[in-house]
Structure 1
């Protein structure tokens, strides 16, 4: 093979250079010294030097650069490397960082960037703006882009309508494969990237799909109707993005058609968008279980404070409930100090058991593994697991306390309390999120607070109550 065989064909886009090892660390993140070098040039007013340094970066790495610098320096960096700050970079940028930069741009500049983006990315950028800023940007857009984005903004947040792309490939079923190939090669007004071609009827209803691989391997004379796959997964335009992600995962989809209320094809969703949604939804549930809101390190301090303090106050309320129960047994604790040392163990282990069950249940609800048809089976399973866990821990703590304090009755009391609290924790950990889900609330938001209250309160109540009634305290 000659060197000329390795040359790209004439007119092909240049192959981008691989990431330079002196810019990225082992985790493919920009090295601190590189970030300092860029910001040094920015502060020195050497915009050309800064642009030369960042020009070889991939758009995702350039987006990372804005995340890594201080918030006060981001606008100066954007002004210095404005020529490199294109739609691809903004599409890869953290939501909070992008919103901060977009607010500093003129509406005409935002409109120009939005016009270069895919519809879903443009919507994600514009929907975070204030209402008056949104109107100014929309007025500056081309009529076609404005109509597409306004239509997307009319759909509910986190719905398929907000997520879908308008640019897609659709052909009539009476075409041949040759017609399709010739049309695709013409390149006139076609989507930049796609993996399958949708087949529509005269009402523009999707009736099938054809993967590109099947088109390229089929003779030109064959009719589209003969090779298209008629079974397909259609996404309603108002479907929640989490449900969309579940369908992609369940049916191993690469792309899917989005239809409106009349069944017309209005857009498509591709798997690269779904990857972001899966990551976003998984992170959201994990953070909500911890009561930290969005939990983004680029989130403004005041927003983080507001999202976290609410749940801290709620936790304060649950702690007061537990403290009230302890106060009811003040005389019992005074007569036997060992109870004060042991009761946090009962509450703490019960809390951990409840958190384990809660995490499993919330995940099962989020992934549609737990539905109305198998709720009782899931509850029964978690109670059985709780019984086994409770029995094991109860035996260990009972023996340990009996030997340490030389008091078998105290060991029996704490063993019974531990067993009871772990079973209660298992029941609460599955029932509370299920009840919240049935009520239409997000089970990841409030479940942890209530489960903690139940395990702490019941742990203290059962342990101190058994100690009082068993004759352990004279």
Structure 2
């Protein structure tokens, strides 16, 4: 058996959502065999059930949710894509949703509620216990994409004068502790965090040992209004597993854990890739044709306007092109090479700005490097394409013009690829959204203008 076949078999064993399994579920849905559907779904983990729902058509998804009813695991809702999640929530009874939220961590519950309209939120919250409802309402008051929305409120906090034995007994007896946690927070009488104790240190210490003797006083505190991208950067920078979230009075109000940050990093990276492709609104594979077309139309329209600008530049040299048809054949090469080079620089710049690796202190050094890269690549490709163009059309001067235009455009691509994202960032505009249009327009316009302009001067 080939290595590829072995790898495919291993992947199918690890992934329960094989085509055969999905077909089994859909066939059972078509027959209306609820028992078979529930038997197939019961052993699945929430993330796999969510992926199955994402793969289904709307009618199949509705049938599956209706057949599962209250047996639909609450954790599934927090794993769904946003569009699918809203669709599934609309199919569920508000009382069932309220019960599911009560069983979730507070951060997952907020994630489900935040995209619902005010009426939908209140309809669900009204059926929850008063204390849990108040906690969720407070979390929803924090800014979107902030640490306050990301945190979970259940945590373990103890005073520094407790000993290890008292702390362990407390964790065994308390009913409102989180299901999973990695460290214990140490707080003063005003509930301000003054240190942390990793669980392993508690378990390895003698019962009479004071918490103050084994706690770490160095800690990373995150304010509730901190943007989640900044929270992710802090976790990456300091290799955190969890971090305390504090309010405006420096009091402990929640904890952010690494599993939430992994999702943030994935979502932010996906968002940057989507925006750089001109997809402004979030899309899912299951979105309708009409919705997808509407989401993409606006940015494609902007691209159309910039393409017209490049065509206007070409129109300025229509007489030159008429006298030498070879120019029309070769000019897309200059523009496309510049566009690709600009996209490379822009991609590095946008990502470096997002991760704070690029800033005022090293911007000049980065620009100098990219400029030199543009010059070096411009010269190399100028020699290559200039020779090809000269031999192709039996005109050495045409090759020189082509090479010179290539150098000019590669340098412009390098400069615009860094200046455009940095300028947008300074104006508080997300550089991932608009950089590609501006950079591509600049390289197209400069490429056509340089090539046709030099041709008009040197060849006509």
**TM-score between the two structures when normalised by the length of structure 2:** 0.95
1:186 aligned to 2:176?
A: no
| 1:155 corresponds to which of 124, 142, 146 | 142
1:445 maps to which of 433, 440, 446: 433
Q: Separation in 1 of the partners of 2:346 and 2:9? A: 45
| Conservation of the 8 A alpha-carbon contact between 1:292 and 1:307 | yes
Among 57, 66, 70, the residue aligned to 2:44: 57
Does the Cα contact within 8 Å between 1:260 and 1:266 map onto a contact in 2? Answer: yes
Indicate how the Cα distance of structure 1 residues 22 and 106 shifts in structure 2: closer, same or farther if over 3 A, else same.
farther
| Counterpart in the other structure of 1:14 | none
Aligned-pair Cα RMSD in Å:
1.6
State whether residues 357 and 382 of structure 1, in contact with CA within 8 Å, keep that contact through their aligned partners in structure 2.
yes
- SS in structure 1 at match of 2:20: helix
| Alpha-carbon distance change, 74 to 434 in structure 1, aligned in 2, over 3 angstroms | same
Cα deviation digits, residues 420-473 of structure 1 (max 9, x gap): 001001100000001101110100000001111101111000100000111x12
- C-alpha distance in structure 2 between counterparts of 1:96 and 1:103, whole Å: 11
Aligned counterparts of 2:46 and 2:9: Cα–Cα separation in 1: 17
Partner of 2:89: 102
The alignment of Structure 1 onto Structure 2 pairs a total of residues equal to 452
Instruction: Supply the distance in 2 between the matched residues of 1:24 and 1:453 (Cα, whole angstroms).
Output: 44
Q: Which runs of 5+ in 1 are unaligned?
A: 1-20
Cα distance, 1:359 vs. partner?
Answer: 0.5
Query: Structure 2 vs 1, CA of residues 229 and 97 (structure 1 numbering), >3 Å: closer, same or farther?
Result: same
Identify the match of residue 405 of structure 2 among 403, 406, 417: 417
2:363 alignment partner in structure 1: 375
8 Å contact kept, 1:387–1:423: yes
1:281 aligns with 2:268: yes
SS in 1 for 2:178: coil
The CA deviation at 1:24 is 7.5
1:460 corresponds, among 448, 453, 459, to 448
| 38-47 or 247-256, larger mean C-alpha shift | 38-47
- CA–CA distance in structure 2, aligned partners of residues 398 and 23 of structure 1: 51
Tell me the alpha carbon deviations over residues 80-110 of structure 1, each in whole angstroms, 9 at most, x when there is no partner.
1224312112122222211111012222222
Q: Secondary structure in 1 aligned to 2:126?
A: helix
Segments of 5+ residues of structure 2 without an aligned counterpart are 1-7
Indicate how the Cα distance of structure 1 residues 420 and 166 shifts in structure 2: closer, same or farther if over 3 A, else same: same
C-alpha contact (below 8 Å) 2:194/2:217 kept by paired residues = yes
Deviates more, 1:432-441 or 1:134-143: 134-143
What's the counterpart of residue 107 of structure 2? Answer: 120
